[in-house]
């Protein structure tokens, strides 16, 4: 018998059993499971990832499935003209897809011409971006060049609330939380951050408090604005700013509603939600209204697949208010090491995710960031995990198939064996798990990501200005020919 088929069958059974355990836990007596001491790190499960692996691992043969990567790597990719702009052809090996970021680059170009414009980026990621790591450095680089203040959209609660330096968050313990990571049918639709929160008690205030961090361009809370969903019942919220208390009504009439706390910039405030237990609460946005703003929607344990459960109508409502210009999907950490090097099941699932993004945010550019290098011990030596390159190639395939830009983080950080170097160099730039970057490494990665995106932007400006020069030349030529015809007619 084929031992590999036994392995996949066994893995599928274990995965399905785990999913069943999580499900049965909800209906078993509470005394069997004490939730009070559980760390959120240990209970976050990407249920769609587990189901995808369980369903597909039985039918996939890692050794026989897939395309010849060497042949695919030399495949030439020629881009179609987009309003007179066409980036040079690429191969699969060096694919970056700047062509598919043209709408984003045009918004940056207009912002550079007019500093009163605004550009917004949604950065979805996993534990790599937990605590605003990497994202805060991408944000700072853009705001350094194009202007803008504020950390963007911040959830009511996240796993990294206590450790995030770009904004400090405190909150009461009576919030009810639902996450797209492990809930398929939420009470109300998930917000743009993949969560929905409820002030869980009618009689006791449920509260959240924010304080600006110390990061450059984020030292104040600019134009704090609450986002909340639809409900049949109204509620109230008290905003405490210093010694002042502002009492405001929540009118949950639309799919997505917003309420400005105050205009201008403040250092901190507290929000007490009163008799608002039926109203879905999403979070607060902080930005000064001009320049570049980057929202960090990180979630530990996420594969990216849960985004496919977004309600497109709700996302469009968020988009109408926040107006995104680029959606970044940065995943891979939680997808490695599932007993196969064939990631066609993930490629298929993430294609569905990207298509949901396109439906939810029409016309917005999309950027896929691949898995970073990860090291595993082989014969007592730490080396690049054998699943890294197959996963990275699968991510590149769905980026190409969905006409998205692409960053190979694996290549960008140095390729084969690079994680070992990042861990062992002095001072270290990655943790001893040989998977995650420390703050020093995250800053370096943020700069590398911005560097590749900015390189594409600089190339875009050259192509755009060449197009403008060609258009101007054609107009001049037409005018000259018209004048020549006019002179001849007059002469006659």
Q: How many whole angstroms separate alpha carbon 268 and alpha carbon 287?
A: 14
Rounded-to-integer distance, Cα 201 and Cα 175, Å:
8
Residue 101 DSSP label: G
What's residue 20's pLDDT?
47
Q: What is the pLDDT along the chain (492 residues), one digit of tens a residue?
A: 444 444 445 555 545 555 444 444 443 333 333 333 323 343 355 767 766 666 665 444 444 444 456 667 778 899 999 989 999 999 999 999 999 999 999 999 999 999 999 999 999 999 999 999 999 999 999 999 999 999 999 999 988 888 899 999 999 999 999 999 989 999 999 999 999 999 988 778 899 999 999 999 999 999 999 999 999 999 999 999 999 999 999 999 999 999 999 999 999 999 999 989 999 999 999 999 999 999 999 999 999 999 999 999 999 999 999 999 999 999 999 898 666 789 999 999 999 999 999 999 999 999 999 999 999 999 999 999 999 999 999 999 999 999 999 999 999 999 999 999 999 999 999 999 999 999 999 999 999 999 999 999 999 999 999 998 877 677 666 655 655 555 455 554
Rounded Cα distance between 320 and 317, Å, is: 5
Q: For residue 468, what pLDDT is reported?
A: 86
Among the listed residues 47, 65, 67, 62, the one whose alpha carbon sits nearest the alpha carbon of residue 8: 62
As for how many domains the chain has, the answer is 1
Q: In terms of residue numbers, what domain contains 377?
A: 3-491
Rounded to whole angstroms, the Cα distance separating 267 from 320 reads: 27
3-state SS assignment for residue 216: coil
CB crowding 20-33: b at 16 or more within 10 Å, else e: eeeeeeeeeeeeee
CA distance 180 to 189: 10
Work out the end-to-end distance of the chain between its first and last CA atoms, rounded to an integer number of angstroms. Answer: 95
Here the CATH number for the domain that contains residue 313 is 3.40.50.1110
């Amino acid at each position: 018998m084929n031992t590999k088929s036994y392995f996949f069958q066994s893995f599928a059974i274990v995965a399905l059993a785990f999913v069943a355990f999580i499900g049965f836990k909800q209906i078993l007596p509470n005394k069997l499971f004490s939730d009070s001491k559980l760390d959120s790190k240990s209970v976050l499960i990407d249920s769609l990832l587990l189901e995808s692996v369980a369903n597909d691992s039985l039918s996939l043969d890692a050794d026989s499935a897939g395309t010849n990567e060497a042949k695919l790597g030399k495949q030439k990719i020629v881009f179609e003209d987009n309003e007179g702009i066409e980036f040079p052809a690429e191969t699969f090996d060096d694919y970056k897809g700047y062509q598919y970021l043209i709408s984003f680059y045009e918004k940056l170009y207009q912002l550079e011409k007019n500093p009163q414009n605004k550009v917004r980026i949604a950065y979805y990621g996993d534990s790599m971006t937990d605590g605003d790591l990497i994202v805060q450095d991408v944000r700072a680089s853009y705001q350094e060049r194009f202007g803008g203040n504020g950390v963007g959209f911040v959830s009511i609660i996240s796993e990294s609330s206590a450790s995030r330096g770009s904004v400090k968050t405190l909150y009461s313990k009576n919030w009810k939380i639902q996450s797209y990571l492990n809930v398929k049918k939420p009470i109300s639709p998930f917000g743009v951050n993949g969560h929905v929160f409820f002030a869980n008690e009618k009689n006791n205030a449920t509260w959240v408090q924010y304080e600006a961090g110390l990061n450059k361009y984020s030292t104040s809370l600019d134009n704090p604005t609450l986002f909340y969903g639809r409900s049949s019942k109204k509620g109230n919220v008290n905003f405490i700013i210093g010694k002042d208390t502002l009492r405001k009504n929540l009118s949950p009439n639309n799919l997505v509603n917003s309420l400005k706390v105050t205009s201008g910039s403040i250092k901190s405030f507290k929000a007490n939600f009163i008799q608002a237990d039926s109203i879905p609460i999403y979070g607060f946005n902080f930005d000064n209204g001009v320049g570049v703003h980057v929202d960090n929607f990180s979630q530990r344990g996420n594969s990216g697949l849960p985004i496919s459960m977004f309600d497109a109508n709700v996302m469009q409502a968020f988009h109408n208010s926040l107006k995104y210009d680029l959606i970044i999907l940065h995943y891979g950490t939680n997808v490695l090491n599932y007993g196969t090097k064939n990631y066609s099941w993930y490629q298929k699932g993430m294609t569905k995710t990207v298509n949901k993004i396109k439906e939810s945010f029409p016309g917005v550019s999309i950027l896929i960031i691949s898995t970073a290098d990860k090291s595993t011990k082989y014969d007592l030596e730490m080396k690049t995990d054998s699943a890294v390159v197959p996963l990275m190639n699968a991510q590149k395939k769905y980026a190409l198939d969905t006409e998205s830009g692409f960053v190979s983080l694996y290549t960008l950080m140095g390729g084969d064996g690079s994680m070992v170097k990042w861990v062992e160099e002095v001072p270290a730039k990655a943790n001893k798990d040989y998977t995650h970057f420390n703050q020093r490494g995250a800053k370096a990665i943020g700069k590398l990501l911005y560097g590749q995106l900015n390189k594409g932007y600089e190339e875009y400006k050259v192509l755009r200005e060449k197009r403008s020069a060609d258009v101007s030349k054609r107009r001049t030529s037409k005018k000259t020919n018209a004048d020549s015809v006019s002179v001849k007619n007059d002469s006659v």
